[in-house]
Structure formats: C-alpha cells, structure tokens
Structure 1
Amino acid sequence: MQLTAIQVQHVVVDIIETTVQSWDGELDEPISPDTLLIQDLNFASIDFIQLIVTIEEKIGKKLGFHDLLMPNDKYIDELSVAQLTTFIESRLNSDQVFDQPINLSQSSIAVESKPIANERIDKTKLEQFRQHIPIPKRWEGEDTPKNKKAVFVLSSPRSGSTLLRIILAGHPQLFAPPELHLLDYNTLDQRKAALANKLNSHLLEGTIRAIMQIKNCNAEEARKLMEAYEEQNLPSKSFYGVLQEWIGDRILVDKTPTYPFHLDFLNRAENQFSEPLYIHLVRHPYGMIRSFEDAKLDQLVLFMRESSFTRQQLGELLWLVSQQNVLKFLEGIPQHRQLRIRFEDLVDTPEITVQQICNFLNIDFNTDMLNPYKEKEQRMTDGVELVSRFSGDLKFHLHQRIEPNAAYRWKQFHNIDFLGDITWDIAASFGYKE
C-alpha cells in the first residue's frame, strides 16, 4: 500500500492534535509542516514515546525511529512535522510488508478528562492519595545473609536524580546504572510480571543496560542472561548480590525514584544490605511539580492515570509522600550513613557539592564527574532500546554541560503560591522559600 506525503501528514497531524488534547491543552495555531515538536508543542520524553508507539500501532509496522531521532547515536535537538512526515513516508513506501492493515480513521490515544480547578493539598487529600498507591507484597527473606554495602539515591521523581546518577557514574570506584527497580519486588519474576506491559516495559531496561556494561555484551546477550535469572524466579536481593559480585570492588549505586513511594521499599534496603549509604536528593517542590507536569509522568502510572486529582496536584502529592517517607525512614538511620543535598546546589556549585558527596562516600574526588555529558556509553546514558532512551529525561540529552538555570525555570511558570501548608512545612525544613 502506497501513501502520499499528504496522507501521511494527515495521520501525523491527527495523532499530534489528539496528543495535545489529552493534555487538556489548546493549540495556539494549527499544526503545519513547520511546527516544531519540542519548541512549539513542548513535547517531553513520554510524548515522544506515546507518539512513536501510536504511529507504529496505527500502521502496523515497526519503522525504526532510532534512525530519525538518534542519527549517528546522538539525540536530535529538534524535530518538525515535515521531518517526521518525510521519514514515515519513506519507510511506509519501502518494499517491506505491513504486519497489520493501516487504519486512518481513528486515533489510539484516549483523551483524558481531568478537573481544571486546583485546590490546595491538605491532610485529607494526602490520605486519599496514599490510599490509591498500590500496596507492595510483603517481603520475605529477612534471615538470609545481607549483601555488601551499596548506595541508594532517595528522591521524588523529577528531582534531578538522573543528573546525579550520571555524575556518580563518572567515578571509577562507583557503578551507577539506570533505574534498577529491584527493591520494589520480591523476585525477578514478580518484577517482570508487573512491568512487562506497554506503559512500563522500559523500566525493565535498567538491569539489561547494567549487564551490558558489566559483561561488555550486546542487548540480546544481556536479555538472555536476565531471562535465565527470571526463569529461576531469583529473589531480587540475590540478583543485587550477583551484580555486586560482577562489579568487584566498585560500589553499586541504585537510583530508582519509586522507592520512596513506600516505607516498606526503603526498609528493604536496610534488611538486604550491610550498612548501606543514603543520599537524600531534594528539589524545590515548585521545580519538581513543573518538571512532573512537563514530563506528564501521570500518564505512565496506572493509579495516577485513573486519579481525579489534577496533574499539578499529583506532582505536589508525589513530592510530599516521597519526602514524608524518606524523612520517616532516615529517622532510624545513623547520621554518618545519610547525606542530604539539594538539586539547586548540585547545579549552582557542582564542584563543592560533588566533593561533599565524595567525602560522604569516602572516595577521592574525580574532576571527570563534573562533565556528565562525557563518555555517554561508560555512564550508560545511551539506553538499550529507543523507548528506554526516551523514558528518563529527553531534555538531559539536549544540554552540553551542567546548567544552573535548569533548577529555576519553574519561576517562569509559577507566580502564584498554590502549595498546601503541609508541603511548605517540609519545604521550609529543606531551606526553600517561595
């Protein structure tokens, strides 16, 4: 089946318009071939994922978007509708056979209906939100030997943890892979069953990328290794031990922002490791909320997708729950095993802050850590598949250096205080003001 450029453009524009409508947004002007996805439409990581998945579902064919979005293995800085249309047309009109018929009549993205008016977060709303967070399965295995020391970065999502991880990955004595999502589950089989779906399969890629790095192998070989452990139904705690054995004297760093969703996850770190260290990374709630809204993370989490809270409220609630749980957990941790740093300090005074972290971890400061955009393969910022590459923070790959302004862009959008008193109380304890 041959499609003209005009037909392809109609399909692309329809999908993009439906996507923007799903944000409860309105277009300032009609989408044209010159429309830019990042600059004009503010596309974020999840939007690229959704766009790619929807286009391929609609046409029933894999198009190899990696060639468009990562030419020469480097992320593009921008993408226009015309560029997207030309690429799709060339791939569609190739000699390859479609797996499914093309459906030009319907879009597969549902338009969400969410309340517009925001109300300040209070204890009642906080409790309602907590009740909707899925309860984890009870962890069993308290009597088994503990793994050796590891480092855990504890933060809410969208708090700069990706940048911190990549900074830490630049130190030769540390092994800091992408998000592992291991404390969340008792066994690897349970982890796979929970995450192997359209919305969350990219969350399985952190362990694959870690194996690729350690074993110096390709993705297929790493997947086979991982599948073997999953078939054994290996406990997550044991797999941590496998990773630590493989990396030798290096210290494992686990940066997974879902851990603070539950105190139980945090307690597992203490039960599964010997004298683990904790870096509590905090960010101004307005900065986190703006980043949460920009990335539209609620679209990836089922209980948030079904929530009656607005996206802004969800961002605040997630920040609040994460901080409450981390603070409660750290009350029982000796001071010498915990360090709090602010994202704003990390980007404002990176050398001072990173030196502080190195002192805490009892390792020598390494100046290469201050260039997180160097040695992308070594720091595992190249991902495994296209979706995993875009599942963290697309805009990270559009920078060339640590940018202080990144911590304060929220001030362009928030000029009216909307935070609840309960949120401000914690924020103030971190030294944040309006």
Structure 2
Amino acid sequence: MAVECADVESTVFEVVDELLDSIDGDFEGELFPQMRLIADAGFSSIDFVQMTVMIEEQLGEKIGFQDMLMRDGQYVQDLTLGEVIAFTESRLRKPAAASAAVTAPSAPAPAVGRYEGQKVTAQDVAAFTQLIKPRRVGPSGGAQRKNKRAVFVLSPPRSGSTLLRVMIAGNPALFAPPELHLLSYATMDERRADLNTEHSEHLLDGAVRALMHTRGWTGDQARQFIGECEASGTSTREFFGSLQENLGNRLLVDKTPTYAFSVDILRQAEEYFEDALYIHLIRHPCGMIRSYEESNLTRMMPLMMKNSDFSTAALAEMIWLVSNRNILQFSESVASDRWLSVSYENIVTDPEGNMRRLCDFLDVPYDDDMINPYGDNKARMTDGVDSASKMSGDLKFHLHRQIDPAAATRWRQFCSEDRLGAETMELISKLDADVASIRA
C-alpha cells in the first residue's frame, strides 16, 4: 500500500479546506469529522467531484469514488467529512472493493426556477438566444495565410466531449489538449479579459497545458509566453499557429463546447484553418440535461449568457437545442468529406468500432490506447496545471475506471422525453437519423 491510512484524514481536511476557499460558502471555523459537506459547507455536486480528484492527486492513488457518490444511480444527498475519510481508508485497504462504505439517500431535486415543470416553447428559445453574450470574432477574409489543418469536436456542454477528447488523446497521431477557448475571441488579450473571473479563470489553462506538453515548459514558462502574446495583442489565429509549430505531423484537436453557442464562432474555424475537419458529437438531450443538472453548470453561465429566470432543466434543454442547431447550420457550409457525426451513446457502447471509424475519417492509424482513457493522466493532459480543482472539462470523468456502456441510457431512470418541448423532439428525430443511436 503506497499510502498509510493515517495520512488520509489530514489529506481530506487539507483538500476540503482548499475548496472552501474557492467556493461561495457560508462555513466558517474549524473542520470536524461530523461536518456535512452540503448542509454545512455549501458544496455542490461539482465540488464533490473536485474534492475526489484532488484527494487522488495528493495521495497518488486511484481510489474510485463513484460508489461513494452514487447509490442506485443517483448522487448522494450529503456526506460528512468522516464518511469521506472512512471510504478512502477502506479503498486503500481493499483497492478492488466493489461496494461503498457509506450509504446515503438519493440526491435532492434540482433547484426550481420559474419555468420548472413547463415544456420549452419556441418563444422560450427565442428569449434564450437573446441571453447569449455576443463575441467579437476575428475579421473575415484578408491576406492572412491560413493555419494548417486542425480538427474540431463540436457539441453542447455535457455531451461526453471530455471522454471523447481523452480517447482521442490516446492516439499518437493526434494532439487533443483540454479546452482551448480560442475561436471565441479575436485576440489573446480579449480572451483573458473575458475569462479572467472567479468562476472561469481555469478555462485559461487549456492553452497553458497545451504549451507545457508540446514545448516541455513549466506552467510558469507557458503562462509567461501567453502573457507576452496578450500584451502584444496577438490574434488567436496566430496563437493557434504557435501551438501547431511543435506538433510535427500530429493533428491538433480542439474540443471547446462553448464554440457551439454561436455560428459566427464556428465559422472562424474555416477562416483560420486549411480544410479543417469537424466531429459533431451528439448526445440525447435527456442525458445532457441530467448531466447538466448534476454538474451545477449554471455556475458557469455568467461567462456565456446573462442571468435568467429559466429553470436549470429548461436552460440545459435550450443549450442543447440552440447549440446543435448552430452546428447543423454551420455544417451546411462544410464539404461532407470533412464532417463526421458520432454519438456519445455509440461511443460508450462500442468504443473500438467508433474509434476505428473516427480514425478512418481523420486518416490516421487506429491505436488501442484510445479505448483505455483512464490511464496516463499527464500524457492525456487530464491533470490540472497547478491543482486538480482548476481543470476544464468534465471533472466527473475522473470518477470512473473504465468506459461504462450503461451511461448511454442511465438518464432513463430519472427523466422522460415527455418533458421535452416540440422543437427539441423534432431535432432529436433529425439527429437520431444521422447517427441511429441516441434513442436506442
């Protein structure tokens, strides 16, 4: 056993203390084993996941916290610090333990908004689109030389794009860093000005992590280079090119779900790159909505849109609807041989078949490491630059040990298509015809 159980309590206390400094909770005073992480500390579900990733990082052990956080397919209602410590110690004593050391009731219902329980209408969608913040993207045309080919994974948030990115990163012919958040801005200084806030500053680190990996730099060296780019007003087009300089023949793959919030942003890929390739990742909206509610992604909404009275579920549904509409509209301007539609449901139920299909599309050899995404964190850039609590992408990825085919339809335990609006149902039918799987 690499870690003594005596070290667990101090590690858990240290991690929770660090997280409390970064969230807007009301807890003050000393930590104690009976402290409840939701009721007392103000944790959300994403804080739970950040906690588990940080514990594993500090202990240097893969614990596998999924069983602690979920019972009967639902997230627990609350946990005490003592329960987290006991579970961690039990897993260190028995790494292959199949069951959780704690039991807890099911997760509480999502926060109720003004539109909770009502189906999303066309009028709602129109109002929602007015909430999305506009972006000043780079100028069109001109004499600037395009960067060499790159690949873009296009999807709404919570569609399985982190899993797909990490699978892609297992192929030595491809370079798939964490979310870059570049296309959405004309220049690097505009990018920093928009993302450098309490809840979004970690989104700046995808570019840092990419430079660290390609140039062998430390985080400080990469940040210094980016700072120089920001100070000089370097365009995001030029920064993309600097990332590609050290890739050799490897293809750059950018997975940033917020690109789909705007057709204008998506069009930048055609402006910036020579014959870019696109992977449209599709997930059933109920699966995406369920994941969105669990992750408390509304915390990130000030980055992308103005505040609203829509419920969490309604917001998630409209993000799914508008993002996929934008992607489909953009696809009409792209040659069919540069476009591939895949589904999250197919990926988790047939990983190898879908990775072979993806490799054929990208014209690269298939590699078995693509279907083993939960190892080699540094090579796949699933570790944070400074801390596991400052990572972009889906932190829930770290709860798993292997690809779970049951994830394709787990949402059916909690929600039904009956809750969805007519426009969403219409788009489901269209997308399902494209990939023949999301309603399987």
Shorter-chain TM-score bucket reads: 0.7 to 0.9
Aligned to 1:393: 394
Is there any run of 5+ residues in structure 2 with no aligned partner, and where?
1-9, 27-31, 70-78, 86-110, 433-437
Q: Which amino acid aligns with 2:233?
A: N
Aligned to 1:188: 188
Deviations 1:223-260 (A, max 9, x none): 11211211111100000001111212110000000001
The TM-score with structure 2 as length reference comes to 0.77
Aligned to 2:260: 260
Q: Which amino acid aligns with 1:242?
A: S
SS in 1 for 2:419: coil
Q: 1:117 deviation in Å?
A: 3.0
Q: 1:420 deviation in Å?
A: 0.6
Q: 1:410 deviation in Å?
A: 1.0
**Given that residues 137 and 268 in structure 2 are in contact (C-alpha distance below 8 angstroms), is that contact kept between their aligned partners in structure 1?**
no
Determine the C-alpha separation between the residues in 2 that align with 1:190 and 1:170: 32
Deviations 1:83-102 (A, max 9, x none): 5999xxxxxxxxxxxxxxxx
Counterparts of 1:300-315 in structure 2 under 5 Å? 300-302=300-302, 306-315=307-316
Structure 1 pair 84–210 and aligned structure 2 pair: CA distance change class (3 A): farther
**Given that residues 282 and 341 in structure 1 are in contact (C-alpha distance below 8 angstroms), is that contact kept between their aligned partners in structure 2?**
yes
**Given that residues 208 and 222 in structure 2 are in contact (C-alpha distance below 8 angstroms), is that contact kept between their aligned partners in structure 1?**
yes
Determine the C-alpha separation between the residues in 2 that align with 1:428 and 1:66: 37
Determine the C-alpha separation between the residues in 2 that align with 1:45 and 1:325: 28
Aligned to 2:347: 346
Aligned to 2:93: none
Aligned to 1:72: 59
Structure 1 pair 402–314 and aligned structure 2 pair: CA distance change class (3 A): same
Structure 1 pair 256–288 and aligned structure 2 pair: CA distance change class (3 A): same
Determine the C-alpha separation between the residues in 1 that align with 2:116 and 2:53: 39
* 1:122 and 2:121 matched: yes
The TM-score with structure 1 as length reference comes to 0.78
Is there any run of 5+ residues in structure 1 with no aligned partner, and where?
22-30, 53-64, 87-111
Determine the C-alpha separation between the residues in 2 that align with 1:67 and 1:47: 10
Aligned to 2:285: 285
* 1:273 and 2:260 matched: no
Aligned to 1:379: 380
Aligned to 2:213: 213
SS in 1 for 2:228: helix
Structure 1 pair 283–250 and aligned structure 2 pair: CA distance change class (3 A): same
**Given that residues 46 and 391 in structure 1 are in contact (C-alpha distance below 8 angstroms), is that contact kept between their aligned partners in structure 2?**
no
Determine the C-alpha separation between the residues in 2 that align with 1:258 and 1:130: 14
**Given that residues 203 and 388 in structure 1 are in contact (C-alpha distance below 8 angstroms), is that contact kept between their aligned partners in structure 2?**
no
**Number of equivalent positions:** 372
Q: 1:390 deviation in Å?
A: 4.8
RMSD: 3.1
Aligned to 2:419: 418
Q: Which amino acid aligns with 2:181?
A: H
* 1:294 and 2:294 matched: yes
Q: 1:126 deviation in Å?
A: 0.6
Structure 1 pair 329–186 and aligned structure 2 pair: CA distance change class (3 A): same
Determine the C-alpha separation between the residues in 2 that align with 1:430 and 1:66: 34
**Given that residues 178 and 393 in structure 2 are in contact (C-alpha distance below 8 angstroms), is that contact kept between their aligned partners in structure 1?**
no
SS in 1 for 2:278: strand
Structure 1 pair 336–20 and aligned structure 2 pair: CA distance change class (3 A): same
Could you tell me the percent identity over the aligned residues?
A: 39
SS in 1 for 2:340: strand
Deviations 1:18-54 (A, max 9, x none): 9899xxxxxxxxx9828577xxx995325666xx8xx
Structure 1 pair 393–138 and aligned structure 2 pair: CA distance change class (3 A): closer
Deviations 1:172-219 (A, max 9, x none): 110000000000000000000100110110100100111111112221
